[in-house]
């Protein structure tokens, strides 16, 4: 009997030790983070594209998974559930924001394959990370310009393909870069899934470089080029392409008592039959943290969807306060004031003011 008891104790010790080892491996190799955002919107007045009904929005719940299979191999995924996702009722949205494998040859050169964010400018790759920026929403004029009067975005939100990227230390300065070759977007038809297959042999090419001469200053430049399939009268590939080109620059400065950021994007859409449209958008923001508790900010956004068309521009002032309530917990309150020309495809010259608020959590 004593021998059986001793055997049981040994087995229990082995089980506990084994579980401890598994937990250690889990902690070393797998990292889970996430974000949550709850929002409120109320448009003042009846005219405009805001929300006149003072609505609450279960905006986002987002999980970010990083698995370090080896010291060189990382597998990353970002899953988000938006607007109270209920697939049985066809409500909300569930999306794999990105899912890719990344292999580090050296820190200056890594290779990535899978679904990725398009790395362009300041906001696109962090748009789900609501605690990472001051405002309730990312800028419409440079990031979601189809909601500001354009018919097509400057660049797609996501893309599937391969990328080369890296970080380079230059003395006391830092530089990072990425070049992506992807299927691109299929704006002119919905017959194929661009994350599964391309609808033509051409590939989209995107890239960005960022340089930080100090901890408080960063400058960057980005580009994106692609060719959309043009369809004939039967809905078949005509063999012709509509080319899209976008390029931009940004700057971020963050001192202890003052900060600013600015981004400008230029570009063109050119069908094979002519009628090239040139467009431009920019945004600029200043802010001033007060004792790391509250940060007032003012942002201005501007978009010209077609430089050859008069009275089609849109602009917006954003006046807000960002309160840091706790580590990872932020409350945002702001006023958005929108105005546009009569020929703007989104607002049609009808300006409005809207109150926005959000509770953003990072964990």
Q: Write down all domains in the chain, each with its CATH number in brackets.
A: 30-362 (2.40.160.10)
Q: From CA 7, how far away is CA 1, in angstroms rounded? A: 10
CA atoms within 13 A on the CB side of 127: 22
Would strands 294-304 and 277-287 be described as parallel, antiparallel, or unpaired? antiparallel
Q: From CA 129, how far away is CA 7, in angstroms rounded? A: 51
Q: Residue 17's pLDDT is what?
A: 39
Q: Residue 187's pLDDT is what?
A: 62
- What is the pTM (predicted TM-score) of this model? 0.89
C-alpha closest to that of 249 among 257, 261, 241, 258: 261
Determine the Cα angle at 168 with ends 183 and 77, to 5°. Answer: 40
Would strands 30-44 and 314-326 be described as parallel, antiparallel, or unpaired? unpaired
The radius of gyration computed from the CA coordinates of the chain, to the nearest angstrom, equals 24
The one-digit pLDDT tens for each residue of the chain (363 residues) are 444 444 443 344 334 434 444 444 456 899 999 999 999 999 999 899 999 999 999 999 999 999 999 999 999 999 999 999 999 999 999 999 999 999 999 999 999 999 999 999 999 999 999 999 999 999 999 999 999 999 999 999 999 999 999 999 999 999 999 999 999 887 655 678 999 999 889 999 999 999 999 999 999 999 999 998 888 888 788 889 999 999 999 999 999 899 999 999 999 999 999 889 999 999 999 999 999 899 999 999 999 999 999 999 999 999 999 999 999 999 999 999 999 999 999 999 999 999 999 999 999
Residues 6+ apart with CB under 8 A from 180: 116, 118, 119, 159, 161, 162, 163, 204, 205, 206, 207
DSSP state of 344: -
pLDDT tens column, 317-341: 999 999 999 999 999 999 999 999 9
pLDDT tens column, 24-54: 445 689 999 999 999 999 999 989 999 999 9
Phi then psi for residue 327, to 5 deg, are: -60, 120
Instruction: Give me the residues paired with residue 203 across strands.
Output: none
State the Cα torsion 152-156-157-159 to the nearest 10°.
Answer: 160
First to last CA, the chain: 51
What is residue 16's three-state secondary structure? helix
Q: From CA 178, how far away is CA 195, in angstroms rounded? A: 19
Q: Looking at beta carbons, which pairs linking 103-108 to residues 24 or more positions away fall under 8 Å?
A: 103/72, 103/73, 103/74, 104/72, 104/73, 104/74, 105/72, 106/166, 107/166, 107/167, 108/166, 108/167, 108/168
Q: Looking at beta carbons, which pairs linking 326-331 to residues 24 or more positions away fall under 8 Å?
A: 328/131, 328/361, 328/362, 328/363, 329/359, 329/360, 329/361, 330/130, 330/131, 330/358, 330/359, 330/360, 330/361, 331/357, 331/358, 331/359, 331/360
Neighbours of 88 (CB within 10 A): 5
DSSP state of 341: -
Burial 36-57 (b: 16+ CB within 10 A, else e): bbbbbbebeeeebebbeeeeeb
Q: Residue 112's pLDDT is what?
A: 99
Token pair belonging to 209: 């470089």
Token pair belonging to 22: 């598994």
Q: Residue 26's pLDDT is what?
A: 59
Q: Residue 18's pLDDT is what?
A: 47
Would you report the helix, strand and coil content of the chain in percent, each value rounded to 5?
Answer: 10, 55, 30
Neighbours of 22 (CB within 10 A): 10
Q: Residue 190's pLDDT is what?
A: 66
Q: From CA 344, how far away is CA 269, in angstroms rounded? A: 17
Residues 6+ apart with CB under 8 A from 28: 68
């Amino acid at each position: 009997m004593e021998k059986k008891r001793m055997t049981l104790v040994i087995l229990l010790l082995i089980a506990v030790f084994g579980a401890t080892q598994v937990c250690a491996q889990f902690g070393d190799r797998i990292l889970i983070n996430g974000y949550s955002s709850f929002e409120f919107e109320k448009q003042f007045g009846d005219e405009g594209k805001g929300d006149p009904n003072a609505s609450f929005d279960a905006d986002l719940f987002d999980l970010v998974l990083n698995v370090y299979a080896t010291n060189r191999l990382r597998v990353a995924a970002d899953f988000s559930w938006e607007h109270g996702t209920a697939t049985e009722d066809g409500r909300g949205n569930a999306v794999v924001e990105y899912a890719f494998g990344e292999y580090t040859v050296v820190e200056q050169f890594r290779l990535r394959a899978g679904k990725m964010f398009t790395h362009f400018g300041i906001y696109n790759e962090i748009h789900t990370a609501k605690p990472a920026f001051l405002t309730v929403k990312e800028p419409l004029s440079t990031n979601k310009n189809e909601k500001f009067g354009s018919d097509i975005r400057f660049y797609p939100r996501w893309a599937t393909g391969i990328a080369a990227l890296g970080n380079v230390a230059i003395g006391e300065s830092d530089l990072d870069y990425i070049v992506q070759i992807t299927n691109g977007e299929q704006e002119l038809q919905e017959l194929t899934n661009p994350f599964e297959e391309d609808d033509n042999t051409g590939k989209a090419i995107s890239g960005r470089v960022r340089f930080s001469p100090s901890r408080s200053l960063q400058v960057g430049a980005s580009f994106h080029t692609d060719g959309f399939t043009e369809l004939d009268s039967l809905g078949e590939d005509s063999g012709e392409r509509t080319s899209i080109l976008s390029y931009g620059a940004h700057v971020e400065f963050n001192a202890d008592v003052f900060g600013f950021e600015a981004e400008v994007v230029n570009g063109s859409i050119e069908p094979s039959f002519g009628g090239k449209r040139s467009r431009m958008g920019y945004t600029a923001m200043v802010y001033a943290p007060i004792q790391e508790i509250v940060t007032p900010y003012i942002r201005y956004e501007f978009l010209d969807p077609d430089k050859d068309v008069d009275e089609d521009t849109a602009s917006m002032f954003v006046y807000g306060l960002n309160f840091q309530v706790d580590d990872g917990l932020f409350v945002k309150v702001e006023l958005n004031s929108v105005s546009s020309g009569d020929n703007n495809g989104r607002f049609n010259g009808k300006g409005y003011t809207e109150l926005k608020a959000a509770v953003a959590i990072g964990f």
